[in-house]
Structures are given as C-alpha cells and as structure tokens.
Structure 1
Amino acid sequence: MNGDVRLLGLSKSARYALMGLVHLAARPQEGLVLVEAAARALELPPSYLAKLFQRMARKGLLTSHRGPRGGYALARAPEDITLADVVAATQEPAAGKRECLLEPRGCTGAKVCSIHEDVLAAERRIQDALSRITLAQAARTQPEVNHAA
C-alpha cells in the first residue's frame, strides 16, 4: 500500500493537528504545554506542529502564552471541541472546483463525474462522524507518555 494514502481523506496537517490537540486534551493537569514537548511525545516535526498550533490559536481552538512559562492550552473544554472543528481549522477555503477521482480537471458547476453524488454523500458521512466525536472522547484512548524520554 502506498504510504501517501490519506486516512479518511485528511491532510497531513489535519492529522497532525488532531494528534496535537488530542494530546493536550489528554493532559489537562499539565496546564500549558510546550510545542517541543508535544512534538517529541508524538514524534512529529516540532516546526510543523508549531505552525499548526499557531493556526489553531488564530482559529480560537488554542490559547497561546509567551514567555518562559508559556505554551499552549485548549481554548475551550475538550468536550466542546469536535474533531470536525479541528479539521476545519486546518483547511483553506475551497475555490469552487473540487478534486475528482475520475476527472483530471475536477468537478465544476454543471460538469460533474458519474460518481460525484456518491462521493459527496461519503464525505458528508465522514463529516457527520467527525462532528460527533469530541477531543474528550478521543483523549480517553491516549496512552500515557513516557516523560523520561
């Protein structure tokens, strides 16, 4: 299987943002979390996670605090943030043309492919599922991190 296959069609940014925010939700007792510590625990590139955390802060999902005791924390309770919220915060607004499985130029306006409606229905089901799962629910399955590493 190709290593570039995207889980549920999610981008790397969406997956990393989900991992990062679930990590924060699983550790409320830690208060502010440094990006470097989260990146190390999740085995993600620190600079990439830092950019994602900055974006999540701009979108209102995280709060950031500067200084020697700074870091990031969830802006709302983990029960109030869904996986769909996180995914939406990582995505750029659509430009009218949709990528397509069958048409190299994408599905646009009146010209859509033969499976367009089926693909849209599948996307809606995935969106609905992500909208029902909160960070709190996802955090319940997080393993404890070895802080000695």
Structure 2
Amino acid sequence: MRLTTKGRFAVTAMIDLALHEGKGPVTLAAISQRQEISLSYLEQLFGKLRRHQIVESVRGPGGGYSLARRAEKVSVADIIIAVDEPIDATQCGGKENCHSATHEGGARCMTHDLWTTLNAKMVDFLDSVSLQELVDQQLQKQAQANVVQLHRSAAPAAGALPLAAGEHS
C-alpha cells in the first residue's frame, strides 16, 4: 500500500493553509506557488475538502480558504478520506473476492485478514495525527533553522584568529 500523490498533496496543502491562515483566507495560488502544486489540482482537492467541511471558502477580493474547524480537530485520516484516497492494502479492495472467479467462486486469499488488519492500523494511526501536530512540527523545524542560521552568522569567519588585547584590525 502506498499513499498516492492526491493524499500527499492534500495533506501538504492543508499544512500550508493552517500555517498561513492567521493573516486571513489563503489563496490556492499562494499555496500552489509555495508548495509547487498545480493550481488546477489544488482546486479539485479543495473542492472535495470543502464538501467534507474541512475547509471553507471566502469569495471576492481578499478571499481564499480557511479551516472550517480548528486544526487540532482535523486528522490526517479526515483529509485523506475527504479527497477519496483509498486506505486499503488488500488485493480485492475490501470486497473479499481476492481470487478471481475461477478460484472457489472468488474466495478470500490466505492473507486477506493480515491486510485488513493493516488497513485498520493505518486508519487508526492517521486518525491519531492531527493537522495541528503537523503544523507544530513545521514551526519547530523553522525555529530550529532560524537558530542555526543566526548561530552561523554570529560565528567568526573560518580561519580568523581572535585579536590579542590591544591589537586593532
């Protein structure tokens, strides 16, 4: 099982939206530019997110999208399910007809229960991760990068020796 581009882009765009919505509605054009995701693709994804009441839209000048509920109330599973991303590792898509009709009338394969259990674990995990947690992780990474950058700019140039007392450069 692998997450498709649709699910990855939806989660990425939602993190971007949550990071930037403090200044008002966020345009899809801005998300598109920052995340390098096609604007038309974002329009499709956000249409689905809006129908699932995860985001709301504001029309007109200064319009865009904002979260329909607080970020801590939106799970990654909510986002992925809203954009019709299947979370299914079974061969049969959960229909229990893993083998073709030539094998015992479409019976389940021997590993069906294993993959079904994996599906449940994946949904449980994705449901346990909130959008706010992902936003907080990004803010923490940005803060760490800023500290490293400040630290580097304050460090003396490589190879420079400290001046002895009384010396002038």
Q: In structure 1, what is the Cα distance between the partners aligned to 2:72 and 2:106?
A: 40
1:112 counterpart (104, 108, 112): 108
Q: In structure 1, what is the Cα distance between the partners aligned to 2:134 and 2:67?
A: 14
- Name the CA shift for 1:81/1:105 in 2 (closer, same or farther; >3 Å): farther
Q: In structure 2, what is the Cα distance between the partners aligned to 1:79 and 1:88?
A: 17
Determine the structure 1 residue equivalent to 2:32.
Answer: 39
1:85 counterpart (78, 91, 104): 78
Number of residue equivalences: 131
Determine the structure 2 residue equivalent to 1:20.
Answer: 13
Structure 1 unaligned spans of 5+ = 1-7, 145-149
Normalised to the residue count of structure 2, the TM-score between the two structures is: 0.69
2:126 counterpart of 1:133: no
Q: Alignment RMSD, CA only? A: 2.7
Contact kept, 8 Å, 1:99 with 1:105, in 2: the verdict is no
1:10 counterpart (3, 28, 47): 3
Determine the structure 2 residue equivalent to 1:70.
Answer: 63
Contact kept, 8 Å, 2:100 with 2:106, in 1: the verdict is no
Q: In structure 1, what is the Cα distance between the partners aligned to 2:99 and 2:112?
A: 13
Q: CA deviation at 1:92?
A: 7.0
Q: CA deviation at 1:9?
A: 2.3
Q: CA deviation at 1:110?
A: 6.3
Contact kept, 8 Å, 1:26 with 1:136, in 2: the verdict is no
- Name the CA shift for 1:105/1:88 in 2 (closer, same or farther; >3 Å): farther
Greater Rg by CA: 2
Q: Helix, strand or coil: the match of 2:114?
A: helix
Q: In structure 2, what is the Cα distance between the partners aligned to 1:38 and 1:68?
A: 17
Higher relative contact order (CA 8 A, sep 6+): 1
Normalised to the residue count of structure 1, the TM-score between the two structures is: 0.77
Tell me which amino acid in the other structure corresponds to 2:67: L
Q: CA deviation at 1:28?
A: 3.5
Q: In structure 1, what is the Cα distance between the partners aligned to 2:85 and 2:121?
A: 21
2:120 counterpart (110, 124, 139): 124
Tell me the percent identity. 29
21-30 vs 81-90, greater mean Cα deviation: 21-30
Determine the structure 2 residue equivalent to 1:98.
Answer: 93
Q: Segments of 4+ in structure 1 off by > 4 A?
A: 103-106
